[in-house]
Structure 1
């Protein structure tokens, strides 16, 4: 009986020390991880809407309307020129791909042109769906019209279609769904006369 209590006490002490160690590690790394996510988000905005001098968060009822109507869009920003005029919009969406949610950042200028798309964090298959982060894939979206939905073709990127990644049609379609939700949100904003910053 004493041996069982002794073993249990030793295990309890080990568990408490391990839990404290994990908690301390979490506290120490929480700030740097949040900072890295913020910097990656800022970089993605600059890459998809490069003509903007700054970006303003869309918040409050406007964001609630966008998120509720245009799933999987989760965040939205106005791209501003040096004078503070809105020149376009950036949307972050999280469509479901083959391996789970895929973070997609899409930029659209006021003239209705997709200015860029980037893929952030994802769990897509290495060597297949993970190729969505390659410039050969995501650069297909730049220049597409936001007046119509973007399609996915297995053979070529004609008109408003992009060519799917070979062997990763589900990932390609998911990313395109994120871009199309962003296009729908953009068109809703434009139809409602834009947003004030």
Structure 2
């Protein structure tokens, strides 16, 4: 995995990063869009949106799932020289590079309501729900294995299970400031700037 000191980011936190944005932007655009009659009418638009919500959620949940499992099985124990990236830092870093396409998705979904009311907004919300469910699935995997999954952030080019990711590293469940699945840990959070892995193995 390399020598020397380097940072690690939680895999589940990266997966969760766009989920809330997609969920709320999708619901907001769907809520506004349903007020527009559109070319197809509201009933058809909402019905199509409900189908897209289910399909989008399933796709977001299933994509790369086998790759996540393979990387988890092949994960090695993190060394003493690494530093754990805080949850807030991971979220901020992810959103900084991708906030424009997240924000652009809102007006695009809203504009599509002129044709099919609410459909694109519900599709966005479905993607967010699917990613949130995938983070929960990863949390279950972490609890069963008794180890948290980490990845070097410079390897993540879009997905933490993409081809540029060479492997995962693990720590004990008490490491870092995020619970299995990526939710914020209540109390006992790591200080900003990272915490040495050796203190929580």
TM-score computed with the length of structure 2 as normaliser: 0.23
**Which is richer in strand?**
1
- Structure with the greater alpha carbon radius of gyration: 1
Normalising by structure 1, report the TM-score.
Answer: 0.23
